[in-house]
Amino acid sequence: MLILLRDRGGLAILFLMPMAMITIMALIQDAPFRDYQELKIPLLLVNNDTSTLGRTIENGLKTSKIFEITQQKQSEAAAKKLVKGGDYEIGIIIPANATELLNAKVNQFVSKKLSAAGLSDSVPATTATVTGDLNLVIFFAPDTKKSFKASVLSTLHQFTSKLETQTLLDYFSKELSKNDNAAPAQTQTKIDDLVGFKEINTVETPQETLQLNSVQHNVPAWTIFGMFFIVISMAGSIIKERDDGSYTRIRTMPGSYVTVMAGKISAYLFICLIQCVLMLLVGIYILPLLGLPTLVIGNNMIAIAIVAISCGLAATGYGILVGTLFSTHQQSSTFGAVSIVILAALGGIWVPVYVMPESMRMLSEISPLYWALSAFHKLFIGGGTVAAILPYVLKLLLFFIFTLSGAFLFNKTKKQ
């Protein structure tokens, strides 16, 4: 007991890490446990209609509290690019003449129905010159799940249906008030959708038609998790070398600290890469045997190798830092394991980032596991190129340099 109490570092880890874990996991899993109505979905709204319909839809979206709306004047192509790039989950474009089209359609519809009821004389013949379909253009991010799309489309349908009904009723009331002989039963006729939805696909290549299914998400996610778990073994090895004096001997030998660490990094990186290849092979060959979809990794093997190497380097760099900062194997293994679980949770390994609350989505940006997972998703689901993964790869490599520098500086301080 006394020994345990004297180990302040170990005690701090034992108490603080679970507290951090509880807080972060509760925050992350808050969203999936809530109704979708409580979520704030990032939505790009391009409202080109300055009249009633545009304003009504805009206000409806705002008051729904489902969406986190950003309004921009964008072309269809630019809006599509922003949604495809992951800046927004949904993009909606309201056409410039939407109100005019709606009024013309309502006029035509009411004329048709009243005419059928023998009240054609009471309704002025439509003079509208506006023709064509009234479609709101909608984009979804390529990795959006079908169920999520259906839910969002249903919500949008609710808005527009309400608006259509309201417009029709107003029109009918106005026209019928001119003729007391009108038969109210006519309004029970089925009202066709006057406002339609034109969903534009953001996918451009066959690979992009892939949906984020269990295999496409879990195989890369847990591959990255497994690669990062090498931190525990690596940190343990560094502490053991320090405890048994091997590290002291290494420091008396020629060759800089970086050279010595390079040997260690190469060995562990090799293990990480083998681990990565094996996990991907499981996704391709073993999981289909169990009735699951086959993992599709695309054809860009160079890009996959770049992501795997960058991820492996980030993991080994973190392992060296943990092994350098902590003095006992117990401390390093506890901190290493819990910190990886936290970074994995933040990084979308357990729960996809897009269903997390906004604050957690922002925090996920600091997780190297998120960078690696995003890069794999770009390749496996988005059919991305080396250019598409470059920002994530650079972040992983910077993390590697940062952790290695941290360990180097800590060692240098200890030598003083």
Partner 1 sequence: MSANAAIHVNRLVKTYKGADHPAVDSITFDVPKGAIYGLLGPNGAGKTTTISILCGLLVPTQGDVSVLGLSLKSQLEEIKKRIGVVPQDIALYPTLTAFENLQYIGNMYGLKGKSLKENINKQLEHFGLIENAHKFVGNFSGGMKRRINLIAGILHQPEILFLDEPTVGVDVQSRNVITEYLHEINRAGCTIVYTSHLMEEAENLCSEIAIIDTGTIIASGQPKALIAENNSANLEQLFLKLTGKKLRD
Instruction: Find the part of the chain contacting partner 1 (CB under 8 A) among 12-20, 205-213, 247-255, 341-349.
Output: 247-255
Nearest to partner 1 of 246, 299 (CB atom):
246
One residue of 85, 177, 251, 362 binding partner 1 per CB under 8 A: 251
The H or E element containing residue 98 is helix 98-116
Nearest-approach distance from CB 255 to partner 1, in angstroms: 6
> What is the rounded CA–CA span in Å between residue 59 and residue 118?
38
Q: For partner 1, which is the closer residue by CB, 308 or 320?
A: 320
Identity of the residue, 265 or 355, whose beta carbon is nearer to partner 1 in the bound complex: 265
Q: How far is the CB of 246 from partner 1 (least distance, A)?
A: 5
252-281: contacts with partner 1 (CB under 8 A): 252-256
Query: How far is residue 266's CA from residue 353's CA, in Å, rounded to a whole number?
Result: 31
Nearer to partner 1, 188 or 413 (CB): 413
Contact (Cβ atoms closer than 8 angstroms) between residue 379 and residue 403: no
Report how far residue 281's alpha carbon sits from residue 195's, in angstroms, rounded to the nearest whole number: 48
> Under rule CB under 8 A, how many of the chain's residues touch partner 1?
15
Q: How far is the CB of 409 from partner 1 (least distance, A)?
A: 14
Query: Is 95:46 a contact under the CB 8 Å cutoff?
Result: no
Nearer to partner 1, 77 or 253 (CB): 253
The distance of closest approach from Cβ of residue 408 to partner 1 in the complex, given in angstroms and rounded to an integer, is 15
Instruction: Choose, by CB under 8 A, the member of 68, 244, 358, 365 that binds partner 1.
Output: 244
Whether the Cβ atoms of residue 11 and residue 19 lie closer than 8 Å to each other? no
Asked if 400 and 317 count as a contact pair (C-beta separation under 8 A), the reply is yes
Interatomic CA distance for residues 372 and 220, integer angstroms: 9
- Kindly give the pairing relationship between strand 135-140 and strand 90-94: antiparallel
d(CA 108, CA 401): 67
Nearer to partner 1, 132 or 263 (CB): 263
Cβ at position 267, least distance to partner 1 in Å: 12
HSE at residue 56, side-chain half, CA atoms within 13 A, is 17
Residue number with CB closer to partner 1 (124 or 245): 245
| Pairing label, strands 196-200, 41-47 | unpaired
Q: Does 248 bind partner 1 (CB under 8 A)?
A: yes
Buried b (16+ CB within 10 A) or exposed e, 331-356: bbbbbbebbbbbbbbbbbbbbbbbbb
- Scanning 21-29, 109-117, 250-258, 286-294 for contacts with partner 1 by CB under 8 A, the matching segment is 250-258
In the shown chain, the binding pattern of residues 38 to 77 toward partner 1, with x for contact by CB under 8 A and - for none, equals ----------------------------------------
Min dist. Cβ of residue 243 to partner 1 (A): 8
Stretch that binds partner 1, among 54-62, 134-142, 222-230, 244-252 (CB under 8 A): 244-252
What angle in degrees, to the nearest 10, is found between the helix axes of 146-176 and 98-116? 60
Give the Cα separation of 375 and 369 in Å (integer): 10
Report the residue from 34, 178, 198, 249 that binds partner 1 according to the rule CB under 8 A.
Answer: 249
**DSSP 8-state symbol, 46:** E
Q: Which of 245, 289, 290, 387 binds partner 1 (CB under 8 A)?
A: 245
**Binding stretches for partner 1 (CB under 8 A):** 244-256, 415-416
